[in-house]
Amino acid sequence: MGSQWGADKYYRRSKGEGYRSRAAYKLEEIQRKFGLIRGDDNVVDLGAAPGSWLQFVKGITGGVIIGIDLNPIVPVEGTHTVKGDFTKKEIQDKVISLTGENNVGIVLCDAAPQFAGNKSYDQARAIGLNEGALHFACRILKPGGNLIIKSFQGEMFQELLNEIRQNFYAVKVYRTKASRRGSTEVYIIARNFNGKINAETD
């Protein structure tokens, strides 16, 4: 069981600072350590609801900021929100219409599937979601762009890392302090997209 104190600490802080969820502090920590989001980047956030990452990002970049989720996102001033499945070509085309072709500096993905309680099944669904985010990034990132994906260590995780390393020059696995204690949650930090792959979509 995770640390209740830790959960309360970040929950209380998010409410006090106006963020929609404690997840904002995970991205804040990653940005402080790695500096992946640049001041002129166009940014796409996959699985963006409820919008705390959009809130954080708009304080960093003057570029176009887009959040995509299957669920509606309450609008965040200065950002675009899209309701739909990011693996679908029509959603990706909408992103391109807002940013231009291969003109996104970073893709963020804090999405996770609804877990059913079956470890192997849940892990397979999580990795499948990660692969969808990777393929999305390979279609819309500009050369040299960056990617942050939330994942879970377990079966198929190493295979996912290997696939990401084929597309980015530097890849690291990082665990944030705001992640719940005992969770297998990690973030894959992928820098400098090599621009070699244009992923196929439905």
Q: What pLDDT, on the 0 to 100 scale, is given for residue 22?
A: 80
Strand order in the sheet with 168-174: 80-83, 65-69, 43-46, 104-109, 141-152, 185-193, 168-174
Tell me the pLDDT tens digit for each residue of 105-149: 999 999 988 777 788 888 999 999 999 999 999 999 999 999 999
| Residue 198 resides in a domain | no
The pLDDT tens digits for 172-191 are: 999 998 777 778 899 999 99
Catalytic status, residue 150: yes
pLDDT classification of 201: cutoffs 50, 70, 90 = very low
Tell me, yes or no, whether 201 lies in a domain.
Answer: no
**Tally of domains within the chain:** 1
Predicted local distance difference test score (pLDDT) of residue 76: 93
How sure is the predictor about 196, in pLDDT bands with cuts at 50, 70 and 90? Answer: low
Is 202 part of a structural domain of the chain?
no
The model's confidence at residue 2, banded by pLDDT at 50, 70 and 90, is: very low
Which residues constitute the domain of residue 111? 4-193
pLDDT at 12: 53
pLDDT surpassing 50 at residue 5: no
The answer to the question of residue 141 being in a domain is: yes
Q: Tell me whether residue 97 is in a domain.
A: yes
Strands (E), the chain: 43-46, 65-69, 80-83, 104-109, 141-152, 168-174, 185-193
Q: Residue 35 is encoded by which pair of tokens?
A: 């500096």
**Residue 90 belongs to domain with CATH number:** 3.40.50.150
CA 143 to chain centre: 18
Residue 199 lies in a domain: no
- Catalytic residue (choose from 26, 150, 172, 196): 150
Q: Is 170 among the domain residues?
A: yes
Q: What is the pLDDT of residues 52-110, one digit of tens each?
A: 999 999 999 999 999 999 999 999 999 999 999 999 999 999 999 999 988 999 999 99
Residue 137 falls within a domain, yes or no? Answer: yes
pLDDT tier at 19 (50, 70, 90 boundaries)?
Answer: low
The predicted structure's pLDDT at residue 114: 78
pLDDT digits (tens, 9 = 90+) for 26-60: 999 999 999 999 999 999 999 999 999 999 999 99
What is the pLDDT, as a whole number, of residue 187? Answer: 97
Q: Which residues are annotated as a binding site for S-adenosyl-L-methionine?
A: 51, 53, 69, 85, 110
